[in-house]
Structure 1
Amino acid sequence: MKHILLIGIGPGDPDALTLAAIKGIRRTDVFFFLEKEGDGKDSLIRFRREILAEHAADRAYRVAAGASPKRDRASADYQGAVEDWRRRRTQVIADLIDGNMADGETGAFLLWGDPALYDGTMQNLHDLIAEGRDDITFEVIPGITCVQALTAKHRIPLNRVGEEIVITTGRQIETGDPATVTNSIVMLDSRDAYMRLRDRPDMDIFWGGDVGSPDEVLIAGPLDETADRISETIKAQRARKGWIMDTYVLRRRRAPDASGS
């Protein structure tokens, strides 16, 4: 049997690793890196290697890398493009496991944030098992998410009394009804979707780029006053290092109650 660990390593701060993540690292025989194309891939791989150098102790381990397939972002069939990408990614993961693990060994993927929040690796392994791979088992070690790191840095609670919490994507903010945005955590926004709501005078934003890393930038305030500064910051970070990981909270300002408070 080959056992796989999906280890959440947090949003980019080495101090954000949990004790469970460190214990998982110290029982792993081979670590799998899925390398993405782009200017920032070297720094992403370097961060993982720094984590191993610090936390793997004296345990002997191996590293096996594979190329992460690209998703067709120009396709008009969004769901179909995602499914095609997922199938190809599942095959890459199967090849890594088959080519680099012996029976009885433990392998691991070091995953940003938490493996259950907008990461497809868990589903890839479920797909492999559903296809009949009875030689694979896996477990998930949760991590600190960018959502938790962001709200901690801004010193705001994730919830407000009597309101729902919505975790969504830039795509949904761009195409959805602006009137439904009350308390939304927005991830995976490559299109500055918050700009669509900038004319709403009652909307605040709590934005963070590369939270927890040396490149961390935090901006908060009324959206109509901060949107341009956020957009320029994103452009500057991408121009400097090729990528940025950003998350933000869009929060509709509550009207004062009858007492004026």
Structure 2
Amino acid sequence: MTELWLIGIGTGSPGHVTLEGQAALKAARTVLIPRKGTGKEDLADLRHRILHNAGSTARQVHFDYPARDPALPYEPRVRLWHDEIARRWQTALGGAESPVALLVWGDPGLYDSTLRIAGRLSPKPRLKVIPGVTALQALTAAHAIPFNTVAGAVTVTTGRRLRDHGWPEGAETLAVVLDGEASFLTLARPDLTIWWGAYLGMAEQILDHGPLPEAGPRIARTRAAARAAHGWIMDTYLLRTEDTA
């Protein structure tokens, strides 16, 4: 049975890989590396750099990441996309020497579908998960702010849920991930402060924060320009009500 190691690699800095992660990368015999298309080559380059820094001598197997079908409703679109990713993993794993490592941007267990995709493989591999620095850790560290207020709760959600359902009732701190649409602009809340970051941990890192009515449009413009310049963007943000900011 193939042993598959899912290794969190943080959000862009090779320093985000834990010592446990580095040891696993050095011990792995095969590493799967996704290629995400034109303009996103630096995502694979970062993985190569992390492997080099860890002293990895593993065989590197590249595979092309599929695109989602925008014509489908969201849930079937994602389900079919995951099915196709699993098929490509299955092909890449054919004849691979175990243990096999897959480098996961951020953390394999926090708003990431790597574990769900691995569950589609047949025969099922033995899984080992090594956590990495999450985007939320990197964001709060970059802004030098606490994740929560004193004894306060934090709600973690997605941009899609924020657009569809608005501000969760009773929430004081909201951490938002997977937002490709600048969903904070849908909130007509003058009492909110936003802390935003993109390319966290990378040389290209961009940060901004301030009252949402002022900072929101500015962040949306910055985000659009950065995405156009790099061909991709990974960002996240924290929102907090004014009386607890």
For Structure 1 versus Structure 2, the TM-score category normalised by the shorter chain is over 0.9
1:43 counterpart residue number: 42
The offset of 1:73, in angstroms, is 2.9
How do residues 1-261 of structure 1 correspond to structure 2 at under 5 angstroms? 1-39=1-39, 41-56=40-55, 60-75=57-72, 77-98=73-94, 100-102=95-97, 105-128=98-121, 131=122, 133=123, 136-178=125-167, 180=169, 181-197=171-187, 199-254=188-243
SS in 2 for 1:140: strand
Shift of residue 113 of structure 1? 0.8
**Identity across the alignment (%):** 35
CA RMSD in angstroms, aligned pairs only: 1.7
- Per-residue CA deviation, residues 113-155 of structure 1 (Å, 9 max, x unaligned), is 1011222221122222xx5x15x21200000001001011111
Aligned partner of 1:193: which letter?
A: S
Unpaired runs of 5+ residues, structure 2, are none
Structure 2 CA distance, aligned partners of 1:118 and 1:200? 26
| Range moving further from structure 2, 199-208 or 159-168 | 159-168
User: Offset at 1:26?
Assistant: 0.7
Letter in 1 for 2:230: K
Any conservation in 1 of the 2:3–2:126 contact (CA below 8 Å)?
yes
Structure 1 residues 160 and 192: alpha-carbon distance in aligned structure 2, compared to 1, 3 A threshold:
same
SS of corresponding position for 1:139: strand
Q: TM-score, normalised by structure 2?
A: 0.94
Q: Which runs of 5+ in 1 are unaligned?
A: 257-261
Runs (4 or more) in structure 1 with deviation over 6 Å come to: none
Alpha-carbon offset, residue 38 of structure 1: 4.1
Change (3 A) 1:251 1:3: same
Match of 2:62, as an amino acid?
A
Provide the C-alpha distance between the structure 1 equivalents of 2:244 and 2:118, rounded to a whole number of angstroms: 47
1:162 deviates by: 4.2
